[in-house]
């Protein structure tokens, strides 16, 4: 099995997300990690040549994947993370437990851009993101860690 780099400085995320649901199993995590690599193969990225894949696990055990989809009009590019989220939400799934992200970058763990962090945060602060390298290592952070002091749906409900 691949070496796992797991930063648990903030406590064990796996046991604290969505406390009403059972903890994620090792098999679900392995599948999520596999799926994000597979999704990367579908990336449409002729401009950047930077394929990215994402896989999303819902609270009730469903999986959705996505890749980056670029456009000649560059602001219209959609990241892999948001593709996966749009697919899940458009099929009625808004309770997320984890996402895994893959790229071909050997040097760095692939991290979500700021826009994707905000879109992820829309669906909670206590779910986790697995940021991987092609060698199978990864780091894990909660949304709260990736986007602290964030603005979200709760802020609007106060009015």
Nearest to 97 by CA among 2, 6, 29: 29
Q: What is the DSSP letter of 113?
A: -
Structure tokens at 28: 């679900």
Neighbouring C-beta atoms of residue 114, cutoff 10 Å: 9
81 flagged as catalytic: yes
Binders in 3-62 for ligand THU, by CB under 6 A: 45, 48, 50, 52
Which of 66, 124 has the CB closer to ligand THU?
A: 66
CB of 156 to ligand THU, least distance (A): 26
Binders in 99-118 for ligand THU, by CB under 6 A: 101, 110, 112-113
Report the alpha-carbon distance of residue 121 to residue 95 in Å, rounded: 11
Under the rule (CB under 6 A), what is the footprint of ligand THU? Answer: 45, 48, 50, 52, 68, 70, 77, 79-81, 101, 110, 112-113
């Amino acid at each position: 099995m691949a070496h796992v780099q797991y930063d648990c400085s903030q406590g064990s995320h796996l046991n604290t997300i969505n406390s009403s649901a059972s903890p994620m199993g090792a098999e679900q995590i392995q599948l999520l990690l596999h799926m994000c690599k597979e999704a990367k193969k579908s990336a449409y990225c002729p401009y950047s040549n930077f394929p990215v894949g994402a896989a999303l696990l819902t609270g009730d055990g469903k999986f959705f994947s996505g890749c980056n989809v670029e456009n000649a009009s560059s602001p219209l590019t959609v990241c892999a993370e948001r593709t996966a989220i749009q697919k899940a939400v458009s099929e009625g799934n808004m309770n997320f437990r984890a996402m895994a992200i893959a790229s071909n970058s050997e040097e760095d763990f692939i991290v979500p851009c700021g826009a994707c962090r905000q879109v992820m945060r829309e669906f909670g602060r206590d779910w986790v993101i697995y940021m991987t390298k092609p060698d199978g290592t990864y780091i894990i952070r909660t949304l709260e860690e990736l986007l602290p002091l964030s603005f979200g749906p709760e802020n609007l409900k106060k009015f």
